[in-house]
Amino acid sequence: MTYDVVIVGGGPGGYVAGIRGGQLDAKVCLVEREVLGGTCLNRGCIPSKSFFESAHRVMSVRDGEAFGVRARYEGFDLAACVARKDQVVGSLVGGVRKLLEGNGVDVLTGDGVLVAPDAVQVTAPDGSKTLVKARSVILATGSRPSEIPGLPVDGRRIVTTDQVWGLTDLPSRLVIVGGGVIGCELAHMFSAFGSRVVVLEALDRILATEDRDVSRTVAKVLEARGVTLRTGVRVAGAETGEAGVVVSLEGGEDLPCDRVVVAVGRRVNTEGVGFEEAGVALDARGFVQVNDEMETSVPGVYAVGDVVGQQMLAHVATSEALVAMHNALGKKYWMDYSVVPYAIFTAPEVASVGAKEKDLKEQGVPYKVGRFSFAASGKALCMGAPEGFIKLLSHGETGRVLGASVVGVSASDIIGEITVAMRMEASPGDIVTTIHVHPTISEVILEASEDTMGLSIHKMGRRKKRG
Ligand code: NAD
C-alpha cells in the first residue's frame, strides 16, 4: 500500500494531521493501536472535563440554597458519572472516525513500527502484518503516565491518571501523589464528589510552575474545601491489602487510604516503535528531536505532540500536526510556540498565556502589571465565584501585552482574548478602547488593562493629590 503520508498514532496530533491531509486531497493512512482520539479523548482532557462538570453540578446542588434552590443532596454516584463520561467520549471518538472516513483517510488498527524512512509495518490485533509505504511519515505516538518506585500500580488500589476515569466506587479516602496539573484537577473533583483527599507533593508548593499567587489561591480554595495538601513530602512506599493501601512517607509517617492515584507526570512513547532504529534522533530527555518545521533528523519523517515534548497539551499537538502535514505535502510552515495558552481545570480555574512575572524579573525585561480581583466583578459575584484575580503583564516600553495569569471562574474561556491580543501585538491601551459586554467575566481583562495605567474603574486606586 502506498500513500502520500502515513501517520502513527490517532490522538489529537495524529487524527488532526489525518483530517488536514484529507482536506488537502492527500492519500493518507492513519495507524492506531487502540481507540481513535488518544489520551485527550479517552483518558485525559475529555474524561476529566466530564468529571469536572459532575463536580460542578454537585457544588451547585450543595450551594443551591443561597441561590434560592431548595434541593436535598443525597450523595454522589461515581458509576453514573463514569457512564456519562463514556457516552461523551464514545460520541466524540465516533465523530473523529467519521471525519477521518469523510476525508478519505484509511484507518488501520494495529501496532505501527517505523521500519524505514518511508515505511511503517503494522501488526494487527490478529497478528497479521501489513507494510504501509508513504512519501512522508508523521510520528504521533504520545505519552503515558510516569510511575515511581515504591508505588506499584495495580489498576485497582493504586492507579495511574489513565486508569482513574474507570473507578466506579467512590474512595472515601483518596491519596493523590503529585500536586501538578492532574493532581490538582483530581483533588478538586474527588473532593467535590465526597472523597477525603490528601495530595502529596514533593516540591514546596502545588502547581509549582505557575505564578506563586496563582498556586497560593488554588491551594487556599482546595484547603477550604477540605483537601489536605502536603508539600515537601516524598513517598517511600505503599503496602496494599484487602482493606486498602497504607502509603508511607520518607521520614516514617504512614497514611492509610482506600485508593492512590499516581500523578507525577508523563513519559513519551518512543520504545518499540522503531524510531531510533530508523535513525530518528531523540534528545537527552528522550523526546523526538524536531526542527521548527516539525521534521525529525530523518528527512521526510515528522513528529508531533507529546512525543516531541514541547508542552504536553492537546492543542499544541494539534497545532504541530497542521504544520507537519502541510510540510509533508510540500508546503512551508513553521511552528511558533511564542503564544501558547493553557488552562487548569480546578475550581476556580487557572489559565495562562505568555510570560510569567517571575520570568520577566529574571530576564530583566521592563514590564507593567495590571491586576484585577474577581471579587470586584459583578458577573463573578452573581455566579457565586468571587475567588481569584487576573495579572496582566505588558512591556514597560513598547506597551505590548507579554502575558497573563488568571485564576478565577471561566479563566479557561477568557484567556483566548489575551491570546489574540498577544498575536495581534496589542497593548492594554487597545484592550481598554475595546468595548466589553457587561456583565461578563471578560470585563476583568478590561479592568486589568485599565489598571496597567492606574485607571481601573472598579478598583480603588491611589488618588493623586491636587496642587
Ligand atoms: P505535572 O508535571 O504537572 O505534575 C507532576 C507533579 O508531581 C509535580 O508537581 C512534581 O513535583 C510531583 N512529583 C513528581 N514526583 C513526585 C513524588 N515522588 N512524590 C510527590 N510528588 C511528586 O504532571 P501531571 O499532573 O501528571 O500532568 C502530566 C502532563 O499532562 C503535564 O504536562 C500537564 O501539563 C498535562 N496536562 C494538562 C492538562 C491541562 O491542560 N488542563 C490537564 C492534565 C494534564
pLDDT tens profile 26-54: 999 999 999 999 999 999 999 999 999 99
Q: Is the CB of 324 under 6 A from ligand 1?
A: no
| Domain total in the chain | 3
pLDDT means per 10 residues in the chain (467 residues)?
95 98 98 97 98 97 95 96 98 98 98 97 97 98 96 96 97 98 98 98 97 96 97 96 94 96 97 95 95 98 96 97 98 97 97 97 98 98 97 98 98 98 98 98 98 95 68
Q: Contact, 267 vs 144, CB < 8 A?
A: yes
Q: Is the CB of 235 under 6 A from ligand 1?
A: yes
CATH of the domain at 253: 3.50.50.60
pLDDT for 467 equals 59
| In a shared domain, residues 273 and 131 | yes
Quick check: is 36 in a domain?
yes
CATH of the domain at 387: 3.30.390.30
| In a shared domain, residues 114 and 168 | no
Of the residues 305, 328, 351, which one is the last residue of a structural domain? 328
Whole-number Å distance, alpha carbon 291 to ligand 1 midpoint, is: 26
Domain of 102, in residue numbers:
2-144+267-328
**H helices, E strands: number in the chain:** 12, 22
Quick check: is 334 in a domain?
no
Of the residues 264, 283, 315, which one is the last residue of a structural domain? 264
Q: Contact, 369 vs 452, CB < 8 A?
A: yes
Quick check: is 231 in a domain?
yes
For 384-416, write each residue's pLDDT tens digit.
Answer: 999 999 999 999 999 999 999 999 999 999 999
| In a shared domain, residues 285 and 351 | no
Q: Kindly tell me the sign of the dihedral angle through the C-alpha atoms of 50, 56, 62, 65.
A: negative
Quick check: is 337 in a domain?
no
For ligand 1, atom 28: residue with the closest CA: 265
Quick check: is 457 in a domain?
no
| In a shared domain, residues 352 and 316 | no
Q: Torsion-angle region of residue 388: left (phi > 0), alpha (psi -120 to 50) or beta?
A: left
Q: Which atom of ligand 1 is nearest to the CA of 180?
A: 4
pTM of the predicted model, to two decimals? 0.96
| In a shared domain, residues 178 and 128 | no
pLDDT for 4 equals 98
pLDDT for 307 equals 98
| In a shared domain, residues 189 and 119 | no
pLDDT for 302 equals 98
Q: Is the CB of 208 under 6 A from ligand 1?
A: yes
| In a shared domain, residues 172 and 38 | no
Quick check: is 241 in a domain?
yes
Whole-number Å distance, alpha carbon 208 to ligand 1 midpoint, is: 10
Residues 243 and 238: their CA atoms lie apart, in Å, by 13
pLDDT for 7 equals 98
Whole-number Å distance, alpha carbon 430 to ligand 1 midpoint, is: 36
Q: Which atom of ligand 1 is nearest to the CA of 306?
A: 32
Q: Which of 182, 312, 313, 412 to mutate to test the pocket of ligand 1 (most atoms within 8 A of CB)?
A: 182
pLDDT for 393 equals 98
Q: What angle do CA 268, 359, 363 make, to 5 degrees?
A: 120
Quick check: is 412 in a domain?
yes
The residue type found at 280 is V
pLDDT for 242 equals 87
Active-site residue 438, yes or no? yes
Whole-number Å distance, alpha carbon 209 to ligand 1 midpoint, is: 10
For ligand 1, atom 3: residue with the closest CA: 180
**Cell 481583562 appears where?**
445
Q: Contact, 415 vs 341, CB < 8 A?
A: yes
Quick check: is 132 in a domain?
yes
| In a shared domain, residues 139 and 210 | no
Q: Is the CB of 82 under 6 A from ligand 1?
A: no
| In a shared domain, residues 97 and 173 | no
Q: Is the CB of 343 under 6 A from ligand 1?
A: yes
| In a shared domain, residues 260 and 272 | no
| In a shared domain, residues 185 and 130 | no
Whole-number Å distance, alpha carbon 335 to ligand 1 midpoint, is: 25
| In a shared domain, residues 123 and 17 | yes
Q: Is the CB of 153 under 6 A from ligand 1?
A: no
Of the listed 326, 395, 436, 438, which one is catalytic?
438
pLDDT for 442 equals 98
